[in-house]
């Protein structure tokens, strides 16, 4: 007998009616005909059965740092300056408490994998890493979290941070991060990238960098990253977040660099919510959009993922850790309205992100781990348009979230008739 059977669901890939059988945390059956009774059964009520979501680019330690820390100019520079003033005062207990709020919201929205960038610099040293690592440990049974050592204040111009980065990797960070456009010029950006690859090769880990998070077309460190990736044989193991300056490049430059990104098999994470908010502030109209060229990247065959980045802090005042909201904002910002583009937006926090993680056995298929979401939606466009309640969230075959969907109309609601 199977441990759990989900009945009356829809396939997330074909739209066909399916039932899913789960045993020992794995999907044992996916059938278009009725399955035998299970020890427990749930009714999807015609909703979509999807693999769970990813949050591919986030900063756990500064979530909900809001009161008294308002970014008056709304710029990235001011946000970094505000954060630099308070980061050394963050305690492990405080980070765990705020990160816990974020994690619980993410899981309630069907997110079971999260990649968090952890500030490593001469100010905070390794204190923030200690806090985020403690939060990861506390919630390890609820969500898988990868930690990226992130030198936001530079490495070429901040040698102390280089030592701290090595220590962070020794203490358990999963990936090497970077922010080459935070250096003084492209030459220093190249050195920044070289240092990151030295670390990645030493520890045999992947790389995930903040890249060209600016609307200044001078910055094209994405090109340096692609070239270094190919040179090092790190294809498929590098992620570039933000990539905003490509919105300001001319078309010839964009085409040249996108081709190199494809050759390097670099994953691109676009952070449309925060980048729409921060980029272009200092420009008169017409203002640049400030996000990666999502459609052009997809057309070139680049794997594009979307990420929330922040929730209610000096970098971004909004957000509710809903991957469908982030995908919907991305679809608007990138003008993704054709059916195949809607599908791509829906897949960004799902199948696209699974390639970035990477996960080999991901999806609603036999043999995959039963990390699933039952959505009150019947199609990708409905899922993005309505961002409906997640009826059930399952982690390794165990129901961790169950939400009610029923709306009751009372008599007074009919008065307009």
Please tell me whether the peptide bond between 279 and the residue prior to it is cis, using omega within 30 degrees of 0: no
For residue 248, give Cα distances in angstroms to 145, 254, 266, 334, 408. Answer: 33, 9, 20, 14, 49
Pair type for strands 144-150 and 175-176 = parallel
For residue 189, give Cα distances in angstroms to 42, 156, 162, 182, 239. Answer: 53, 8, 14, 8, 16
Pair type for strands 372-375 and 48-51 = antiparallel
In b/e form, how buried is each residue of 237-246, taking b as 16+ CB within 10 angstroms?
A: bbbbbbbbbb
Tokens 């009714």, residue? 43
3-state class (DSSP) for residue 403? coil
With CA atoms as reference, report the closest residue to 371 among 137, 113, 13: 113
Sequential DSSP letters for 304-344: EEE--B-SSSSS-S---S-HHHHHHHHHHHTT--SHHHHHH
Dihedral sign for Cα 190, 196, 200, 206, please: negative
Please tell me whether the peptide bond between 358 and the residue prior to it is cis, using omega within 30 degrees of 0: yes
Structural contact between residues 389 and 401, judged by C-beta atoms closer than 8 angstroms: no
CA 403 distance to own-chain centroid: 23
Which candidate in 183, 213, 279, 369 is catalytic? 213
CA 405 distance to own-chain centroid: 26
Q: Which tokens belong to 409?
A: 């109309």
For residue 383, give Cα distances in angstroms to 234, 345, 347, 358. Answer: 35, 11, 11, 24
Assess whether 213 carries a catalytic annotation.
yes
Tokens 């009161």, residue? 67
Residues 6+ apart with CB under 8 A from 75: 278, 281, 282
3-state class (DSSP) for residue 374? strand
Q: List active site positions.
A: 213
């Amino acid at each position: 007998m199977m441990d759990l059977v989900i009945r009356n669901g829809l396939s997330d890939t074909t739209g066909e009616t399916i039932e899913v059988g789960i045993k020992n945390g794995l999907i044992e059956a996916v059938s278009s005909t009725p399955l035998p009774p299970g020890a427990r059964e749930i009714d999807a009520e015609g909703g979509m059965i999807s693999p769970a979501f990813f949050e591919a680019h986030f900063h756990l330690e500064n979530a909900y740092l809001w009161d008294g820390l308002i970014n008056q100019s709304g710029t990235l520079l001011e946000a970094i300056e505000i954060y630099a003033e308070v980061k050394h005062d963050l305690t492990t207990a405080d980070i765990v408490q705020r990160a816990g709020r974020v994690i619980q919201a993410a899981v309630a929205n069907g997110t079971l994998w999260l990649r968090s960038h952890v500030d490593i610099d001469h100010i905070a040293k390794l204190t923030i890493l200690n806090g985020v690592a403690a939060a990861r440990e506390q919630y390890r049974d609820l969500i898988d979290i990868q930690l990226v050592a992130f030198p936001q204040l530079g490495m070429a111009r901040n040698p102390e941070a280089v030592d701290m980065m090595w220590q962070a990797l020794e203490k358990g960070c999963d990936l090497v991060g970077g922010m080459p456009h935070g250096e003084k010029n492209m030459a220093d950006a190249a050195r920044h990238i070289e240092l990151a690859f030295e670390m990645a090769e030493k520890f045999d880990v992947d790389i995930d960098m903040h890249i060209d998070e600016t609307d200044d077309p001078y910055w094209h460190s994405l090109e340096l990253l692609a070239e270094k990736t190919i040179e090092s044989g790190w294809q498929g193991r590098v992620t570039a977040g933000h990539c905003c300056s490509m919105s300001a490049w001319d078309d010839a430059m964009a085409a040249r660099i996108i081709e190199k990104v494809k050759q390097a098999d670099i994953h691109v994470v676009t952070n449309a919510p925060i980048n729409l908010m921060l980029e272009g502030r200092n420009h008169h109209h017409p203002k640049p959009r400030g996000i990666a060229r999502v459609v052009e990247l997809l057309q070139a065959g680049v794997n594009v993922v979307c990420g929330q980045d922040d929730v209610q802090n000096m970098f971004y005042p909004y957000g509710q850790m809903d991957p469908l909201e982030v995908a919907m904002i991305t679809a608007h910002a990138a003008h993704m309205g054709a059916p195949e583009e809607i599908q791509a937006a829906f897949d960004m926090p799902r199948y696209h992100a699974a390639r970035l993680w990477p996960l080999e056995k991901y999806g609603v298929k036999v043999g995959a781990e039963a990390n699933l979401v039952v959505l009150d939606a019947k199609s990708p466009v409905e899922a993005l348009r309505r961002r409906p309640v997640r009826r059930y969230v399952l982690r390794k075959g165990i129901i961790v979230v169950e939400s009610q969907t029923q709306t009751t109309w009372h008599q007074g609601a009919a008065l307009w008739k």
